[in-house]
Chains A and B, each alone.
Chain A
């Protein structure tokens, strides 16, 4: 029973080995050349303008959280759209209920002012 998982163990070992190789091999093969630019934090290729340790508006956090909710909604809608043709009206009704519930949530956060920025 447990021996069925032996290939998984080999795979796990290979993953760890590859990671270690990728980490340490370049030091031997390529050597290292330090420069000031290499010590900068990586920010999509743009030269950093100031320190990252400053206060952010809490609205960023709220927006990110709301985004995730509606992001998950989209994840549910994609597979549904693929088989909608077979589901017919049953599928329409089910998704209608799902979206209606999310609409209630949207109405709630809208009315509570969670979509206002910094007022």
Chain B
């Protein structure tokens, strides 16, 4: 008789992930059973599953349940990210059916793959072992490779999937090699064991090289420069709903790992990892904000904006304090709301105009044709730029504050200068939408679908409300950031 109680089996810790996985399987089976015309119901079933998973995260808040031999943990940190990821997934599933129909891509596999990617991302948020981190990364990556090429008759979509697959596989190799070296240096795969070893005997060359490779792999997934080369092409080529999902959720999941690994497992050797992470943050801010200026395609512009935003989120990790981590968590939540909104507007415009709808000239005079889309887009752009009273302003403020306290002037100076530069390209979008179209007469108004309208209004209200009352979410972020392994 084998004593299974020593394995630390606790399904409650993984309940959200299990619910999402079960929903994915259910949707796969339902897709085989229902006639093709009824595929909208798959979106409803997926949304229901995600809502259930959202409920399942409630008991994890405030808990500290390490399970499965220390490979996963159910704590406020995991719950915080689960809520962000599940909300993003839920909104994505809700805006998808209409967009997919407009492209003739109404397949059940879309929902299965989205849910599988969600399960991987949530596993990342809960992972406390190198093995579960790798498992989560692969689960989300493989699903996203397929989703990026989901419009398989579209050449750009194929290009996007191939680039993401080849470069992503390469990045996974770096990640795995880094993990192997860390294991070789410390003799442990759980973050708890690694932290204990590092706390007792300090760093070694082997460990630092391992951490370096780990940074490469994770920065790739977070699309932080200089590992960002794939981002614009993949974001542009993938179907816009997929881009919406992956730009927000993948980045959040990657930062969940970065936060847990660097602030919780390697706090004692911060002097060693500070420089490489600061370099990645500074280069991301520079490349993202400068190159975005020259973009003429909105998806590419938002891709470069996303690279810059990754730099801002990384700034909060640099001090290595839980206060800084809390700022990063708040930034991730803010980024989820405003970036999802911005991409959702692009989705809505593209649903109506077709593929040309992502080029900036097509947005001229949008305010006169689709006032709702243009108004909400303005809110998201102002928030991404960091202009009060939107949530983006406080996100930046909270991230800058720990940098001042830790007296890290170089990253702070770069962040402030590039933020001013970023105003140009964010506000240019607003100006283009306000420019009156050249044709005479009042253009006809084009209505937006009810679901899309409701989601956009919800996101823009959230952007402003969180900007006026940021302390509620920031307190949550602070609770989540109080990590122990």
Residues of A in contact with B (beta carbons under 8 Å apart):
1-2, 83, 86-88, 90, 101, 104, 107-108, 111-112
Contact = CB atoms under 8 A, between A and B. Distances in A.
A88 to B, nearest CB: 7
B451 interface: no
A108 B2 contact: no
A107 to B, nearest CB: 7
A101 B25 contact: yes
23 contacts: A1-B185, A1-B204, A1-B206, A2-B205, A2-B206, A83-B2, A86-B1, A86-B2, A87-B2, A87-B4, A88-B1, A90-B4, A101-B25, A104-B25, A104-B28, A104-B29, A107-B29, A107-B32, A108-B28, A108-B29, A108-B32, A111-B32, A112-B32
Interface residues of B, number: 11
Contacts of B29: 104, 107-108
Question: Which one of B2, B28, B204, B206 has the highest number of Cβ atoms from chain A below 10 Å of its Cβ?
Answer: B2
Nearest to A111: B32
A114 to B, nearest CB: 12
Nearest to B201: A1
A112 B32 CA distance: 8
Interface string B18-61: 00000001001100100000000000000000000000000000
B332 to A, nearest CB: 31
A81 B2 CA distance: 13
- Top 7 nearest A-B pairs (CB, nearest first) are A86-B2, A111-B32, A90-B4, A104-B25, A86-B1, A87-B2, A108-B28
Contacts of B1: 86, 88
A87 B3 CA distance: 8
Nearest to A108: B28
Contacts of A87: 2, 4
Given A101-B25, A107-B29, A107-B32, 13 more contacts: A1-B185, A1-B204, A2-B205, A83-B2, A86-B2, A87-B2, A90-B4, A104-B28, A104-B29, A108-B28, A108-B29, A111-B32, A112-B32
